[in-house]
Structures are given as structure tokens and as C-alpha cells.
Amino acid sequence: MNSVDDLLRLLEQLNDIGSSLSRERDTTRLLERVLVAAKTITRADGGTLYRMSPDGRSLCFEILRTDSLNLAMGGTSGAPISFPDLPLRDDSGAPNDSLVAAYAAIHVQTVNIADAYAEPDFDFSGTRVFDQRSGYRSKSMLAVPMKNQLGEVIGVLQLINALDEQTGAVVSFSPADQSLAESLASQAAIALSNRLLMTQLEELFGSFVGLINLAIDDKSPHTGGHCQRVPALTMMLADAVAQTREGPLASFVMSDSDRYELHIAGLLHDCGKITTPVHVVDKATKLQTLFDRIHLIDTRFEVLKRDLELHAMRRRLALRPCVDAKAEAAITRSTKAALADLDADREFLRAANTGGETMAEEAMQRVRRIGSSRTWRDVNGVQTEFLTANEVENLCIRSGTLTRLERDTINHHIVATIKMLEQLPWPRHLRNVPEYAGGHHERMDGRGYPRGLTREQMSVQARMMGIADIFEALTACDRPYKPGMKLSQALATMKKFRDNGHIDPDLFEVFMNQGVYKRYAEQFLDPWQVDEVVP
């Protein structure tokens, strides 16, 4: 092979290495690729890659490879490196120039040694001990500092024993080898710095997402758990769908980047709730605002009861000094009956205040009758209707504890979520977050909100999140307005949602057949909720 062919092959190698380094997202694999590439282009038998410690005081062993000894430590090998870190300064603070890798890092200078045993300026006692134990002979060495874009040393690439391409004998690292290693170390340092920067930005972004959920959690403990459980269940379902090999979802696949995007969407799916008033989110009873107004009604009942008793006492006193036992008995009976009616109405209103799945029309008529037929004298002495119009409206809520206006307020959180997320400059790998997060209240039949999308207009991921959101809400035990459902009851409700066009039937089939609900129940449901499920 002539020199032109050699050069072309080398250029092709370097191009492949550069491309590989730019694509690699995992820091450990990135460092391993750097070391392997450096060994390959310089024909080195062994090599070590050091990382600068966070405090900048030492070099830490990251990856170690020696082909002839079949030695692989650190990196993806799974074998830990037991060697101690290399300090850059001694106890007095003087530079630790006796170690080759430390010298290269301290002085930002490549060190090229032909024979370690013949080198008087460095301490190779540790190398000799290693050689004695392993039967190895460390000879030529090349230590190259890895500098980032700011010129800061972030590590050292050290290569050992360059091998002659023809004979396999150990030779010195040539100037060309040194130049190639320095070029590769520079590329690698930049790639590593970029990767670390990306990791830091992702961690920072993740912390901001956590901060938003923490704010929601602090605002209402009844939604904080929801913000954590929905993404967990969404990812369980996504993984199950990705493993499906038959049916309409067999072609669905997810990369690590896709999974990260969906997870972020899950964490942010209710971020708009930060705009929802707490008294609406936490409305446990129909009359609750900042407090439960049923206690005001209780007070009114007590006032009416005292008025009745006082009126009866006056009537009995009016019979004095004459004694009319029959008349007094009649007064006592009528008063007792009236008090019983008051107690019955009070217990009825207390029961109505708790909410439920449905409220009968007869019950709503009774609320209205109590509100208009009874009167009481308020603190100003004014005779007024027993229940205000707002109290009647709330007590007549047909299902749940929210009025139509309050339900619209709750539903607005998804509009706020979409607006908030669509204003962010999402990078390409997260550009679908607003769509995924903003679609979890849509229905397959187009009757959901806020956009009335149909199944065909939604991504699979958004449909997954819809199932997760509903199932979590049905089984959650931390809601102030209802107890959590048992597993069988929640799944029966989900089947109705499937049949009436609310949730995706194909995804729900995976949810059932792959046992996603079981895994979720094991992790998040109370033991009493996990009962037998009929397929």
C-alpha cells in the first residue's frame, strides 16, 4: 500500500472517529471511543484516559485498556479501576511533575517518552510494580492533555507501547503519531465538553420542571402526586407499546430521545394548574370555598332550633298561671316534630354537600324547597331565605363538587398548559412536548377539550397520556372530593370509556394485555385497592 492510500485510509479513519464522537450521547461510551480511537490510529498496545476531578486537584482513572494483557477496566467493561487518583500537587502545594500524566495536565504540554525505564525526569516506580506483577514491559509513552474550547484541561489521554505495523515490535511514538493524538484529544475534549454542557442543561431543565411541580405540590398536595404518577404510568404504557410485535401498534418504536421527550411532556402535562385557584382545585365539598360553608348552614339550623324552642317556651308561659296540660303537651309535640324536621333537613344538606356520582332531581328539588320555604333572622335582624342562590346552585350540583363555572376554571388549566408550553423555544428533540402534554383531555370521538381533536388528529403519545391521566385520577387516594377506586372498579370504568369513544381502544388493549395496570398498582396503589380483575 502506498503513502497516498495510507493517507486516505487515515483521513477516512479520522472522519469516522469525528462523526462517531459527535453522535455519541453517553459520556462513558464517548470517553471509551476516544481511547480506542487513539490506540487505533497510533497503533498503541495500551492506553489510559484520565478525567480531571471536579475540584481540579487530581486526575481520576476513567478507562484503562491493554490489548496484549487482555486488560479492560472502567468504561463499559463493568470492571472498576482500583488505582488511586493522581494528585496534581504534593502536600506543600508544589506541582507534582514526577508523574507523566500529571505533568501533561499541569503544564498543558504533550509528553513523548521513548523508553520509560530510561527516563530520569519522571517517577515510574508505580509502572515498574505493575510490570513486575503482570509480566508486562512498559516502554514508549505518549501523554496528551485534553483541552476544551476555553483552553482548560479536562483530562489526559495516555498511550503506551506503540507497535510497529510490520513486525509488531514496540517502537517510539512518532511525531505524526503525536500530532494525530493531539488532534484527536482536541476533538474529543470539545465533544466531551459539549456533551457535559448538554447534560448540565438537561439537568438544569429537569430541575426547572421539578420546580414547577414543586410549586403545584406546595399549592395543592392533591395534585402534586398526580404530576409524578401520570408520567410514570405514561412511560410504563409507552414501553409496553414499544414491545408490542402484533396488531395496529406493532410498528411503534421509541428511541432514548423519544422516551425523554415523552417523559418531559408527562411531567409538564398539568403545569397550567399553577394558574388555577387553590379553592377550586381542592374543592372537597359543594359548598367549599376558602372554607366549607356547610358550617354556616349548620349555624342557621341552630338558630332556627333555638327560635322554635324559645317560641314554644313563650307559648307555654302564656298558659300560666292556669295549667293546661293538654295544650302544653300539644306544644311539646309540635315543637319536637319541628325540631326533627330541622334535623332531617340539616342531615340531608350535609349529605348533599359531599357530592357524588349523580344527584337525583328529587334531591335537587328538596334543596330548593328548603332554601325558599324556610327563613331565618340574620345577624342584622332581617328575615331572609334560609339558603342563598349561590348555596342552592352549589348544593344542586348533579355530579361531583364543581359548578359549571368552576369546572370551566379547572378545564382552563389545559389551555394554560398549552399556551405556556407553546411559548418555549423547544429544541428539535423536544418539539412535540406541547402536543403530547396538551392532548391528554381530548377524546377519540372529538368531544374532548380544548381543541376537540379526534383520534386521527392525535399522536400515539398524546393518546397514551390521556389513558394515564384518567386511570391515575380514578385510582388516586389523595383527592379531597372522593376516595380512590379499587382496581376492578377503575378498569370497569376504563372499559366504558373505551366503548364510548373516550380513550384509544388499541392502547387500552395493550394496557390490559401487557399488565401495565398491574405494574402501576404494585408501585402506586394501596393494598386494599388491588383486588381481583375479571378479564
pLDDT number for residue 217: 67
Low-confidence winner among 44-48, 97-101, 206-210 (lowest mean pLDDT): 206-210
The pLDDT score that the predictor gives to residue 24 is 60
Percentage of residues in the chain having pLDDT higher than 90: 43
Q: Is the pLDDT of residue 503 over 60?
A: yes
What is the average pLDDT across 22-27?
66
**pLDDT at residue 47, as a whole number:** 93
For the ranges 58-72, 200-214, 253-267, the lowest mean pLDDT is seen at: 200-214
The alpha helices in 451-504, defined as continuous H runs, are 460-475, 487-499
**Which pLDDT band holds residue 201 (cuts at 50, 70, 90)?**
confident
What is the rounded CA–CA span in Å between residue 394 and residue 476? Answer: 24
Confidence of residue 1 (pLDDT cuts 50, 70, 90): very low
> What average pLDDT score do residues 126-130 get?
89
Please state the rounded mean pLDDT for residues 177-200: 82
Q: Given a cut of 80, is residue 287 above it in pLDDT?
A: no
Of all residues in the chain, the percent with pLDDT exceeding 70 is 90
Tell me the C-alpha distance between 291 and 353, whole Å: 13
Task: Provide the pLDDT confidence category of residue 21 given band limits of 50, 70 and 90.
Answer: low
Give the per-residue pLDDT at 103.
95
324/508: higher pLDDT: 508
**Who wins on pLDDT, 266 or 300?**
266
DSSP string across 500-534: TTSS-HHHHHHHHHTTHHHHHHHHHS-GGG-----
> What is the reported pTM?
0.64
Q: Which residues contact 505 (CB under 8 A, 6 or more apart)?
A: 444, 498
Place of cell 509513552: 141
